[in-house]
Structure 1
C-alpha cells in the first residue's frame, strides 16, 4: 500500500486543527468586592469549516468570549489561538494586522461608512491592508449575495437586509480564517434575518468558511452546526444539529 504524501498528511493535519480555540480563558472587570468574572476559565475549540453559535443568558459572557476570540478584547488570563498563532501573545500592531488579514467581522449595527457606496464599503478593509480580492472570488461573493445591482448604492439607499449583506461580503472577501458574527440579525426583520443566516450557512457549506456567531435567537442558532452554551462565564454544555426547540429547552435549563 502506498504511503500518503507529505503534502497530503500536512493538509489532513491542518484540517484537523481547530480554527480558533481558548485555553483557560479569563476576563475580569473591577477589583475587590466589585470584581466581575465575565469569563471564568473557559476551554473551547471551534472546528474549521463549521458554523457555531454561542448562546447563553444575558450577562453570561458570550459576547465577551467572542470578542476575546476575535482579538477585539484582551484576556485577563489564559490563551487564545487562531490556528497555530497565539493571539494573547501578540502586541497591538501585530494584532491589528492579524485582524485585517485573517479575521472577518459581521456586527448587528452593519458598521458601513455612509460616504462610501456598497462596493467601496466591501473593499475597505482589504484596501487598508494593501490587498486586492481575487476577481473571480469577488464576483462570486457579490453574485451569491445578490448585490450585483447594488454596488453603486450608498448605505442610505439600501434596506437593512441589503446593508447586512454588504457587511457579510466585506467579511468574506479577504477569505479569512474565521468570520465572527455578533448578533448579525438583531436589527433585521425575520425575512432579512433568514437571508443573512442562509448566506452565512452557505459560506460554510459551499466554500468551507468557519463562522462563529453570538446570538440570543433560537431560530438563528438552528442554522448552525453546533451550539456552545455559556452561563456565568463558564461553559454550560452544547448541542449538535440544533433545532429551535432544542435550543429553547437548553436555554430554559440555564435560566435564560
Structure 2
C-alpha cells in the first residue's frame, strides 16, 4: 500500500561541528509531507530549513533518526543507492537554475533522465512542457531565455521523471516579482493538475502563500504549522519567531 506521505523525517537530529563549535541544526524533528500537496518550509535564517530539505532529499545524512521517501528508508543507504534513489524518485529546483549553457532547453530538461539511463515518457514530456509554456522554447539555449523561462526549464527537468517529490530551494530567489509569480503558479499547477508533490524552502511570505501548508522551524525544531497560508499569516508567524 502506497504511503500517504511523499517524504518524512522521524526524530531526526543533525549536528555540525565539534566541542565548543557544535551546532544542532536539527533537534529531534518529526514531520511528514503529504502526497500531491505543495508545502513550504519556513523559518528564520539558521533555523534548519535547508538542512531539513537536504536530509529529506538524501543530499545529506542524519546524525540519528530516520528519513523516508514514500515507503523507502534513506537512512543507512550507500552513496550509490542514494544516488539511484534521487535519480528515480526525487526532483530538484534550485535558486540558481543549474542549467547546462551549451545544451538546449529540451536537452536540459532530459539531461537527468539520460544520465540515469532512463527513457522519457513522450506523452508526459509533452504534458509538462505544455503546462510550463515551453513548447516554443525547446530549441533555445539558456542564454536565449529570460530568468523566469530558465527556471521553468529547471521545473520541467524536475518534473519530467515523475518523481515522488520535488524539492525546491528558494526557487524564486533570483527572479523579479512577475517571473516569481509565473514559476510559483506552475509549481502550484503541477500539484493540482499533474498530481505532483512539491516541498519548497522559502523565506518569502508571498511565495509561501501559493502553498497548501506551511511548516515553521526555529532553532532546529518544528515551531508551528500553517494551513493555506496567507502572506500576512506567514509574516506574522515569522515575526513571532524573530525572523
After superposition, give the CA deviation of every residue in 1:94-125 in whole Å (9 maximum; x if it has no partner).
Answer: 00000001000000000001111100000000
1:222-248 CA-to-partner distances (Å, cap 9, x unmatched) read 000000000000000010011000001
Q: Which runs of 4+ in 1 moved over 4 A?
A: none
Structure 1 unmatched runs, 5+: 1-9
Tell me the equivalent position of 2:145: 158
Instruction: State the 1:17 CA deviation.
Output: 2.5
Q: Name the larger-Rg structure.
A: 1
Deviations for 1:43-87, whole angstroms, at most 9, x for unmatched residues? 000001110000000010000000000001111111101111111
Cα distance, 1:144 vs structure 2 = 1.2
Q: Tell me, which stretches of 5 or more residues in structure 2 are unaligned?
A: none
- Aligned-pair distance for 1:88? 1.2
Instruction: Please state whether the residue corresponding to 1:237 is helix, strand or coil.
Output: strand
Counterpart among 98, 123, 135 of residue 122 in structure 2: 135
SS at match of 1:207: coil
Residue 88 of structure 2 is matched in structure 1 by 101
What SS does the corresponding residue of 1:163 show, helix, strand or coil?
A: helix
Determine the structure 1 residue equivalent to 2:45. Answer: 58
Distance (whole Å) between structure 2 residues aligned to residue 151 and residue 19 of structure 1 = 30
Say if 2:240 is the partner of 1:250: no
Distance apart, 1:149 and its partner CA: 1.1
Of residues 180, 194, 210, the one that matches 2:181 is 194
* Aligned counterparts of 1:234 and 1:148: Cα–Cα separation in 2: 43
Name 1:177's counterpart in structure 2: 164
Give the corresponding residue for 1:39.
26
The separation in 1 between residues aligned to 2:127 and 2:4, in whole angstroms, is 28
Aligned residues between the structures = 243
RMSD of Structure 2 on Structure 1 (CA): 0.8
2: CA distance, partners of 1:67 / 1:35: 19
State the TM-score, normalizing by the size of structure 2.
0.98
CA distance in 1, matches of 2:206, 2:12: 28
Secondary structure at 1:21's aligned position in 2? strand
- What is the alpha-carbon distance in structure 2 between the residues aligned to residue 84 and residue 129 of structure 1? 21
SS at match of 2:225: strand
In 2, the alpha carbon distance for the partners of 1:151 and 1:20 equals 31
